[in-house]
């Protein structure tokens, strides 16, 4: 029984009269005399009966709710013919016209959707343009303009406006980004009534991986014949892997290139599995920092249950998704891009980086070109002698600072304290961590890419067996002397950070490390750097024969290009960014992580780097070296 306290006395009297009449009708009584006694017309009675037995959105009858006044169980639809002239009697004319002319309705909706989802920078849909398009479609059907809407005074302008507004409301999720902006689109994805956030029940249960542009201009140190030059390389990218349960940062990677790729994502995932946060950047002479491994050695090879990614192209790569699922046994959960609430832990860490350090740097870019904070960041970046390796060290110290910071997320404890309590404290028996079994022979971890290539060679011409990868031939004595391998396929375990040597396998049988030949055999280099140099070679920017060191020629070219100018020359960002990645890349192809108790003071390291980054090298006075060069000699005074 609905609540009728808000109805007037006449409406309540009508409600009870119809209720008594419907009850008598259902019980089989003769209702004609009853309707006359109650003063109810038969048409009103049968309309009320149809409303009571009609189905609502849940598929259930309205019941006595159908007796409430002003209730409509189905949308109104005009059945009367359109008048030829005049201003009155046109209610529902547009919907009747569109129902009759389905082709015009389809074309008009296609026009609204096309103009409401335009690219950025273009105007959204406007009511006047929609009305003009409607009249154009009608003119194609009625060239003489003798029927509605041309016969009305405003030619259905108001009806088209209402139709456009209703269309935009009904298709809000499809048009919100271009019609109201990206902020509205992001906000609209939250609070939609669907609870979709996964709840982590234990550490390593749900991990989030996200990438974000760092809000400052990075620099790359270039060694030239006249000394070091610091060249701006644009905004750098940070790839982060975080545990949702305790807020522990598992791994990170700083990318100087314009965009991350699937190899970068696999490097970060591997760093999280071996428990080394800065694995992607550690040099051979540096000891690994593995705080969880120091507590329990099994965390040196540990997986996770669920991995949250967005639907960016690097995350959709088959090599990444297939191998991560097969190696760790985790479920990969994809979501839309530009939804910070879905991976809010990673986004919160990016905000923390901005607050704790990056916003203090003078080379910050601000939120846009008109931001007052953006005051010649490229010049400021070159003035601050902060090389790309120092930026990586700054991020590493900030990550360690985050893991050691006390916050509300862990009940007045830091992520490091909570993880130590779970591993070695009283709670150690409450959780079962997803430790992984050792790798079998011929099986590779995520630090290596798996590539299948054929073995080539020719007995008649004496060309010994070899294989090619990224336009370079590889071989070793074992492979070169085995003619039975011709036309077979080998599986390459490619260490992406150094492809000068590649491990090859025929099935489970190892062939050993095969070395690159020709001009690529001299220097260590990554796969991304080889692709960049190959492009420059094809375009003729680097002159190099088949025996000289092509990596050294590439670095020499950059030094020669930027040695003549200290400040004013604008660099080629692609080459400089590749050089930045080359300088910060990991160059330990085969090693076993070791434990260490050498823990640096993260707070002091962060402050020291930030203070050094804020100091400028520019001066109004000439240095002693410049004075000596000005006098025609290079002696020290």
Is the confidence at residue 600, as pLDDT, over 50? no
Sign of the dihedral through C-alpha 204, 206, 209, 214? negative
CA distances from 120 to 124, 168, 180 (A): 9, 18, 11
Among 394-398, 423-427, 613-617, the range scoring the smallest mean pLDDT is: 613-617
> Cα–Cα distance between 163 and 603 in angstroms, integer?
60
Report the mean per-residue pLDDT for the chain. Answer: 79
3-state helix, strand, coil in the chain (%, to 5): 40, 15, 40
Contact 443, 473 (CB under 8 A): no
> Cα–Cα distance between 93 and 228 in angstroms, integer?
76
Is the confidence at residue 389, as pLDDT, over 60? yes
Top pLDDT among 218 and 459 is at 459
Give me the pLDDT at residue 15, please.
85
Tell me what the mean pLDDT of segment 567-588 comes to: 71
For residue 119, whether the previous peptide bond is cis, meaning omega lies within 30 degrees of 0, is no
Is the confidence at residue 567, as pLDDT, over 60? no
Tell me what the mean pLDDT of segment 160-180 comes to: 82
Tell me what the mean pLDDT of segment 510-515 comes to: 92
Work out the percent of the chain whose per-residue pLDDT is above 70.
79
Top pLDDT among 338 and 331 is at 331
Top pLDDT among 275 and 355 is at 275
Which of 86-100, 294-308, 340-354 reaches the highest mean pLDDT? Answer: 294-308
DSSP lists the bridge partners of residue 453 as 490
Residue 172's pLDDT band, with cuts at 50, 70 and 90, is: confident
Tell me what the mean pLDDT of segment 203-215 comes to: 85
The continuous run of DSSP H or E covering 202 comes out as none
Show the 3-state SS of 301-326.
Answer: CECCCEEEEECCCCCCCHHHHHHHHH
**How far does Cα 417 stand from its chain's mean position?**
30
Give me the pLDDT at residue 499, please.
92
Top pLDDT among 270 and 334 is at 270
Among 44-48, 245-249, 325-329, 560-564, the range scoring the smallest mean pLDDT is: 560-564
Which of 239-243, 376-380, 580-584 reaches the highest mean pLDDT? Answer: 239-243
Residue 615's pLDDT band, with cuts at 50, 70 and 90, is: low
Largest pairwise CA distance in the chain: 124
Top pLDDT among 365 and 575 is at 575
Top pLDDT among 341 and 18 is at 18
The 10s digit of each residue's pLDDT in 466-506 is 999 999 999 999 999 999 999 899 999 999 989 999 999 99
Looking at residue 472, the DSSP 8-state letter turns out to be: E
Is the confidence at residue 341, as pLDDT, over 80? no
Is the confidence at residue 270, as pLDDT, over 90? yes
> Cα–Cα distance between 39 and 20 in angstroms, integer?
12
Tell me what the mean pLDDT of segment 68-82 comes to: 71
Residue among 515, 453, 459 nearest 482 (CA):
459
Contact 311, 364 (CB under 8 A): no
Is the confidence at residue 572, as pLDDT, over 70? no
> Cα–Cα distance between 548 and 519 in angstroms, integer?
5
**How far does Cα 12 stand from its chain's mean position?**
58
The continuous run of DSSP H or E covering 365 comes out as none
The per-residue b/e assignment along 104-124, b for 16 or more CB within 10 angstroms, e otherwise, is bbebbeebbeebbbeeeeeee
**How far does Cα 105 stand from its chain's mean position?**
37
Cα atoms in the Cβ-side hemisphere of radius 13 Å centred on 153? 5
Q: Where are the beta strands (DSSP E) in 461-557?
A: 463-469, 472-475, 489-495, 501-506, 509-516
> Cα–Cα distance between 515 and 499 in angstroms, integer?
9
Looking at residue 55, the DSSP 8-state letter turns out to be: B
Tell me what the mean pLDDT of segment 19-42 comes to: 84
Tell me what the mean pLDDT of segment 169-195 comes to: 72
Residue 241's pLDDT band, with cuts at 50, 70 and 90, is: very high
Give me the pLDDT at residue 616, please.
53
Give me the pLDDT at residue 30, please.
82
């Amino acid at each position: 029984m609905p609540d009728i306290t808000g109805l007037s006395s006449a409406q309540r009297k009508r409600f009870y009269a119809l209720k008594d009449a419907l009850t008598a009708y259902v019980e089989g009584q003769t209702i004609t005399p009853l309707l006359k006694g109650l003063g109810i017309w038969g048409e009103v009675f049968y309309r009320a009966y149809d409303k009571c037995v009609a189905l609502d959105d849940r598929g259930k009858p309205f019941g006595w709710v159908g007796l409430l006044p002003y209730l409509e169980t189905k949308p109104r639809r005009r059945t009367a013919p359109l008048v030829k002239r005049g201003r009155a009697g046109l209610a529902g004319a547009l919907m009747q016209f569109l129902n009759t002319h389905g082709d015009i309705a389809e074309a008009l909706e296609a026009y609204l959707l096309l103009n409401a989802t335009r690219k950025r920078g273009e105007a959204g849909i406007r009511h006047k343009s929609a009305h003009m398009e409607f009249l154009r479609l009608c003119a194609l059907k009625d060239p003489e303009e003798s029927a509605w809407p041309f016969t009305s005074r405003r030619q259905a302008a108001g009806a088209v406006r209402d139709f456009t507004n209703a269309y935009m409301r009904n298709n809000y999720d499809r048009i919100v980004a271009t019609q109201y902006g990206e902020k509205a689109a992001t906000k609209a994805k939250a609070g939609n009534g669907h609870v979709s956030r996964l709840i982590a029940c234990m550490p390593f249960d749900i991990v989030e991986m996200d990438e974000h542009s760092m809000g400052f201009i990075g620099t790359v140190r270039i060694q030239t014949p006249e000394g070091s030059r610091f060249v701006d390389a644009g905004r750098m990218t940070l790839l982060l892997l975080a545990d949702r349960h305790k807020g522990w940062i598992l791994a990170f990677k700083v990318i100087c290139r314009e965009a991350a790729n699937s190899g970068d994502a696999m490097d970060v995932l591997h760093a999280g599995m071996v428990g080394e946060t800065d694995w992607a950047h550690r040099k051979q002479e540096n000891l690994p920092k593995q705080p969880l491994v120091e507590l329990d050695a099994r965390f040196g090879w540990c997986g996770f249950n669920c991995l949250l990614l967005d639907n960016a192209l690097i995350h959709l790569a088959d090599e990444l998704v297939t191998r991560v699922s097969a190696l760790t046994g985790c479920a990969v959960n994809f979501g839309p891009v530009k939804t910070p609430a879905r991976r809010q832990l990673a986004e919160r860490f990016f905000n923390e980086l901005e607050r704790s350090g990056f916003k203090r740097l003078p080379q910050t870019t601000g939120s846009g070109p008109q931001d007052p904070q953006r005051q010649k960041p490229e010049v400021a970046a070159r003035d601050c002698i902060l090389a790309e390796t120092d930026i990586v060290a700054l991020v590493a110290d900030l990550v360690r600072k985050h893991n050691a910071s006390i916050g509300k997320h862990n009940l007045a404890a830091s992520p490091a304290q909570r993880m130590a309590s779970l591993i070695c404290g009283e709670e150690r028996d409450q959780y079962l961590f997803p430790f992984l079994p050792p790798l079998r022979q011929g099986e590779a971890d995520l630090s290596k890419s798996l590539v299948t290539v054929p073995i080539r060679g020719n007995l008649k011409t004496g060309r010994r067996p070899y294989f090619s990868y990224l336009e370079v031939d590889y071989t070793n004595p074992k492979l070169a002397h085995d003619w039975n391998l011709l036309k077979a396929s080998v599986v390459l375990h490619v260490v992406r950070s150094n492809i000068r040597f590649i491990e090859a396998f025929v099935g489970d049988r190892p062939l050993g490390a095969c070395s690159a030949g020709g001009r690529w055999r001299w220097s260590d280099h990554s796969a991304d750097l080889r692709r960049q140099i190959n492009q420059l070679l094809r375009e003729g920017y680097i002159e190099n024969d088949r025996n000289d060191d092509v990596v050294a020629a590439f670095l020499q070219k950059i030094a020669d290009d930027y040695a003549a100018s200290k400040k004013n020359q604008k660099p080629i960002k692609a080459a400089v960014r590749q050089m930045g990645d080359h300088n910060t890349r990991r160059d330990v192809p085969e090693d076993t992580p070791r434990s260490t108790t050498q823990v640096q003071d993260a707070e002091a390291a962060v402050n020291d780097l930030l203070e050094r980054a804020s100091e400028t090298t520019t001066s109004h006075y000439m240095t002693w070296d410049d004075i000596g060069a000005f006098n025609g000699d290079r002696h020290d005074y």
